Amino acid sequence: MSWNDNVIAEFRANNGNVTTGGFGRSLILLHTIGTRSGVDRVNPVLGRRSGDDWVVAASYAGAPTHPAWYHNLVARPDTTIETTDGPVEVTATELTGAEYDAEWSGFVAQSDAFAEYQKKAGDRRIPLLRLRRRTL
């Protein structure tokens, strides 16, 4: 079982509380559909609350490229996340300008790792995406 699979299993078994990696209750499970494969995928990502929304960083631990889930989410922004309160239907939008700066500051304040990820990423600016609850 992969590290992600273990984190997903722990998230689901413990109502969103994940001790692996010291995440606690800060993770969400992000569902995306592969743009080429059409395969449903689930990725554990840090989901910061921002008002009634969640914001996620496509940090990929500072890799020089964006994670696959980012491309899938941009291509199909209507998706589902699993939170400590259960599943939520959301729409993703990429942040820019002052809104990006404010949310990025929040990520860095929450974890020094994000500042390190940006250093490692070099010229790649780590995207931030707002996940806003959809009314169905």
How many CB atoms within 10 Å of residue 125? 12
Asked whether residue 135 carries a pLDDT value surpassing 90, the answer given is no
Report the pLDDT averaged over residues 100-110: 94
Task: Tell me the two tokens of residue 12.
Answer: 């689901």
Select from 86, 95, 122 the least CA-distant residue to 11: 86
Burial label, 24 (beta-carbon count in 10 A; 0-12, 13-18, 19+): exposed
Residue 112: the pLDDT is 86
User: Which pTM value belongs to this model?
Assistant: 0.93
Report the pLDDT averaged over residues 52-73: 95
Triad 41, 58, 35: Cα angle to 5°: 40
Task: Note down the domain range covering 75.
Answer: 3-133
What rounded mean pLDDT belongs to the chain? 94
Structural domains counted in the chain: 1
Residue 97: the pLDDT is 97
The residue with tokens 């990423």 is 121
CATH label of the domain that carries residue 124: 2.30.110.10
Report the pLDDT averaged over residues 47-74: 95
Give dist(CA 135, CA 90) in Å, integer.
9
Rg (CA), the chain: 14
Question: What proportion of the chain, given as a percentage, has pLDDT over 70?
Answer: 99
